[in-house]
Structure 1
Amino acid sequence: MRDILVTLIVFSSLPFILKRPFVGILMWVWISVMNPHTQGWGFATTFPFAAIIGGVTLVSLFFTRESKKLPLTPVTLVLIFFVFWMNVTTVFALYPDAVYLQWNKVMKIMLMTFVTFMFLKTKEHVQLLIWVIVISLGYYGVKGGIFTIRSGGVDTVWGPEGTFIGGNNEIALALIMTIPLMHYLQTTVQKSWARHAFTVAMLLCAVAALGSYSRGALLAIAAMGVFLWFKSQHKLGLSLLGIMAIPPLLAFMPEEWTQRMDTINTYEEDESVQGRFNAWWMAFNLAKDRPLGGGFEVTMPELFYRYAPNPLDIHAAHSIYFQVLGEHGFVGLGLYLLLGLLTWRTGSWIVRNTAKRDAYKWAHSLATMIQVSLIGFYVGGAFLSLLYFDVPYYLMAAMVAMRVLVEKGLKEKGGSVVEKTAGQSVRSREFGQMVPSNSQSVVQNSSSKSMSIGKS
């Protein structure tokens, strides 16, 4: 029944995708993030739904009369360079016969990410994208939370098999990233029952993350909580909520969970942690010896024998940072870190320029929650090989789209843009005319640039 349902949904959406490429983007995100076909037991589990949706979306892209413009922002430019560099390292990969499958998978993700950048044009588009991400991951959060409660926290929560989030650590991080996005959507709904439903869903996602027994997830939750507390205007209320909610959740988990989390303090005795350190040293030594990195496949016995402190302990990188370092060298690592920094600065720009502007309250709130979500990813990702997990790239696209929308709106209304200079002083310039600057603000006209792909 599930196989038939997914098939009907996908094929009934194809005519709409041909008319509007953005529908194809939403369907692609749903299929690639949630992987609903993996929840069946029949033909749908191996059916190429993503390929069909992606192909029809690209066909629609060439025939649509909608504007096909890729915003030329620092984020998109660095992402272009990053993708280009990944192709360079693929050409010079240490194991050229082994990299094709991963290269093919990553390039499909990046292609559809750029298509998302192109057609994410309105507030409604951005919000629909967030809704699809939340529904796709929230399904596993609600399901996993109920499972954890029913089992008393004894059994481990896992994600859909054969996907980016199939492991217990991976699904935990994905659910943690979803909670801030759920909170944003909670502020957009009008019905009280819907707000309460989001509260329950967020709690179940947190319970499911705990039920994954992921130590990295616990660190990511802590980092997100600290950042959210600093950004919040209701620090006392948030503190009281944490005091009331966190102890009962931790007390609910069994002794096995507590013992697992306690190993964070004794990491030097944990074989799993030491194995990750070994893989990190291998990646670092490989990058030192080979500036281009090793290409997409570097978890090879020969490379561990040559570069790892313990050549017999062969592990995947288990870190987005050491994964990119080993595969794409120091240049790749630099581009990836710059991409994260620029995405963060884009969010900060949105937050500064939408503060106390009622028309852009949604952008202020969403940019803040995406920053919280990315904090969780960049902390938890330090212990997971999720470099190519697509959700962070979709959130980057949402950030860029919001900045373009806010910038355009302020320009049309004669508003002002607040920018920070290198010395952290702030200046401001009115759109359309110059105004005197003071020590607190500067007005700067920064119109958006774009690059046309194909014909409008």
Structure 2
Amino acid sequence: MRGLVYVYLLTYLGAALSLFCPLIGLFIYIHYAILKPESLWYWSVGARGPGRYSFIVGVGMLVGWGIRGLGDWRLGRSTIVVAMLLAFVTWVAVGYFFAQEPILVRNFVVSLLKIVLPFLVGITLMEKKEHVRWLAWVIVITQGYLALDFNRSYYQGVNRIVLEAYGGFDNNCIAAAMVVGSLLAFFLGLAETRWSLKVIAFAASALMVHTIMFSFSRGGILGLIAGGIAAFILIPKSFKTTAISILAVILALRLAGPEVRQRFMTTFVDPEQRDRSARSRVEQWGACLRSIRENPFLGVGANHWPLRSQQMGLPRMHAHSLWLETAAEMGVPGLLLLSGFYGLTIYRLRKLVKECHNLDLWSQYMARGVIASLVGFAVAVSFISVVWLEIPYYTVLLGAALLRVHTEEWEHRFEPNTINIPEHMTKYASL
């Protein structure tokens, strides 16, 4: 019952406040997108059916955004990232006119707009570092609470991730989300100066790592390893950060029990010894490559791969790879636009940290956190079909907001530091 009261209060109060401050609505919308309250509190919130809570908050957010003139579109260093996302949506929509089942493309575009519109609200309204910090904590706290609930159920003998499709996501999708969240939380713990906030962030990261372990997702574990390696490379080397990194590795190894290690090692066995899931993955990848050769430009149409898979004599299912499925459905241009959306965020954040010497410490750590999170995500979804996972988009929003907020520092990165002389002392400066 407390969950129902919480959702009602947050929804209607948040929708009202969004008319005056759309960022409040954005943060609540992202909170719901990650938490999925109908699935989390299925006995109270979910029992009442689809409550359209996100829709109510989203309407308030968009109306408030409109009242504020659709924000400020001077996006600075984040312009190219936003352009790639808008180009991807446009390219997907073009496929509507050539698809075998246009209704499938329309449904895909509508669902994609539910992510893209909040992204645009955020990038045009977040103008201060404090806004970026709030977004980081919304993502980490929400994903951390979800991991806490999964851990609680697991220790009570019910592995919800494996036994049910939480919010429509299987264990692999949940694991990919936890890869992003765990790395982001780890760097947020490094970035914060207050010990209470550090403890919260590191605890959330540990809970998410353990969730990946008992999800039994090989793609999730590979993504965590790749993101962890990227994190170690990116972290400035000092005794404290090295010690924290070593402790994180030890904790991750401890959380991976014998069953997890045994299942993960099946990734590298001979083809004859692969389990059904691994064999299915290889078959789907081969079918995707054949389809890409046949339709390299437009693909078969968004949301069409399960149908195409069935037509090729395989089970009606997704392709076990976001990148190959995207190329098969939207063609090579669609793959380039989507990968460019993530890749350019990584590239520009890396240049920001490396070349902008006047960047504050918190922003440096969070830029590195976004990079490591997206690297882990990119590897994880090479083995997973993730259709409507929101957290990577909002992680890019976090990185793009950092780029926008620090555009001025980037433009003055080669200028020598100047000493500001108080006005009342300027008369002595000329002597």
Q: Does TM-score exceed 0.5, indicating one fold?
A: yes
How far 1:69 moved relative to its partner? 1.7
State the AA in 1 paired with 2:180: M
Counterpart position of 1:19:
20
Secondary structure of the residue that 2:19 maps to in structure 1?
helix
What do the CA deviations read for 1:307-357 (whole angstroms, capped 9, x no partner)? 4xxx234431121101211210111112122222211111112212344x3
Distance in 1 (CA, whole Å) between partners of 2:330 and 2:362 is 37
Secondary structure of the residue that 2:103 maps to in structure 1?
coil
Structure 1 gaps, min length 5: 418-428, 433-456
Counterpart position of 1:77:
83
The alpha-carbon distance between structure 1 residues 75 and 321, as it changes in their structure 2 partners (threshold 3 A), is same
How far 1:208 moved relative to its partner? 1.5
Whether the 8 Å CA contact 1:3–1:37 is kept in 2: the answer is no
The alpha-carbon distance between structure 1 residues 251 and 298, as it changes in their structure 2 partners (threshold 3 A), is same
Counterpart position of 2:429:
none
Whether the 8 Å CA contact 1:220–1:379 is kept in 2: the answer is yes
Q: Does 1:174 align with 2:177?
A: yes
The alpha-carbon distance between structure 1 residues 399 and 252, as it changes in their structure 2 partners (threshold 3 A), is closer
Q: Does 1:163 align with 2:167?
A: yes
Distance in 2 (CA, whole Å) between partners of 1:162 and 1:241 is 32
What do the CA deviations read for 1:341-381 (whole angstroms, capped 9, x no partner)? 211111112212344x3x62221111001101111100101
Deviates more, 1:38-47 or 1:112-121: 38-47
State the AA in 1 paired with 2:259: E
What do the CA deviations read for 1:285-320 (whole angstroms, capped 9, x no partner)? 22322231122232445x33654xxx2344311211
Secondary structure of the residue that 2:304 maps to in structure 1?
coil
Q: Does 1:233 align with 2:236?
A: yes
Whether the 8 Å CA contact 2:356–2:413 is kept in 1: the answer is no
Counterpart position of 2:142:
136
How far 1:283 moved relative to its partner? 2.3
How far 1:102 moved relative to its partner? 2.7
Distance in 1 (CA, whole Å) between partners of 2:241 and 2:337 is 36
How far 1:254 moved relative to its partner? 4.6
Secondary structure of the residue that 2:268 maps to in structure 1?
coil
- 185, 189, 192: which one pairs with 1:186? 189
Counterpart position of 1:435:
none
How far 1:234 moved relative to its partner? 2.7
The alpha-carbon distance between structure 1 residues 220 and 267, as it changes in their structure 2 partners (threshold 3 A), is farther
Q: Does 1:318 align with 2:320?
A: yes
Counterpart position of 1:89:
95
Aligned 1:46-57 pairs, distance under 5 A: 46-57=50-61
Secondary structure of the residue that 1:322 maps to in structure 2?
helix
- 200, 207, 218: which one pairs with 2:203? 200
The alpha-carbon distance between structure 1 residues 118 and 348, as it changes in their structure 2 partners (threshold 3 A), is same
How far 1:66 moved relative to its partner? 7.5
How far 1:253 moved relative to its partner? 4.8
Counterpart position of 1:287:
292
How far 1:248 moved relative to its partner? 6.2
Distance in 2 (CA, whole Å) between partners of 1:116 and 1:160 is 32
The alpha-carbon distance between structure 1 residues 256 and 186, as it changes in their structure 2 partners (threshold 3 A), is closer
The alpha-carbon distance between structure 1 residues 174 and 37, as it changes in their structure 2 partners (threshold 3 A), is same
State the AA in 2 paired with 1:203: A
Whether the 8 Å CA contact 1:159–1:171 is kept in 2: the answer is no
Whether the 8 Å CA contact 2:99–2:105 is kept in 1: the answer is yes
Whether the 8 Å CA contact 1:350–1:402 is kept in 2: the answer is no
Distance in 1 (CA, whole Å) between partners of 2:227 and 2:112 is 28
The alpha-carbon distance between structure 1 residues 9 and 243, as it changes in their structure 2 partners (threshold 3 A), is closer
Distance in 1 (CA, whole Å) between partners of 2:20 and 2:251 is 50
Q: Does 1:99 align with 2:105?
A: yes
How far 1:52 moved relative to its partner? 1.2
Deviates more, 1:182-191 or 1:202-211: 182-191
Distance in 2 (CA, whole Å) between partners of 1:393 and 1:250 is 29
Whether the 8 Å CA contact 1:122–1:405 is kept in 2: the answer is yes
Counterpart position of 1:8:
9
Distance in 2 (CA, whole Å) between partners of 1:410 and 1:345 is 14
- 261, 265, 269: which one pairs with 2:268? 265
The alpha-carbon distance between structure 1 residues 377 and 405, as it changes in their structure 2 partners (threshold 3 A), is same
Distance in 1 (CA, whole Å) between partners of 2:115 and 2:387 is 12
- Determine what percentage of the aligned residue pairs are the same residue: 23
- 336, 342, 347: which one pairs with 2:344? 342
Secondary structure of the residue that 2:267 maps to in structure 1?
coil
Distance in 1 (CA, whole Å) between partners of 2:377 and 2:360 is 26
Structure 2 gaps, min length 5: 419-431
Deviates more, 1:234-243 or 1:382-391: 234-243
State the AA in 1 paired with 2:278: V
Count of residues paired in the alignment: 409
What do the CA deviations read for 1:265-301 (whole angstroms, capped 9, x no partner)? 1162222122122222222222322231122232445
Root-mean-square deviation over aligned CA pairs: 2.9
The alpha-carbon distance between structure 1 residues 90 and 393, as it changes in their structure 2 partners (threshold 3 A), is same
State the AA in 1 paired with 2:59: G
Secondary structure of the residue that 1:29 maps to in structure 2?
helix
Aligned 1:297-316 pairs, distance under 5 A: 297-300=303-306, 303-304=308-309, 307=312, 311-316=313-318
Higher helix share: 2
State the AA in 1 paired with 2:118: M
The alpha-carbon distance between structure 1 residues 196 and 135, as it changes in their structure 2 partners (threshold 3 A), is closer
Distance in 1 (CA, whole Å) between partners of 2:248 and 2:50 is 41
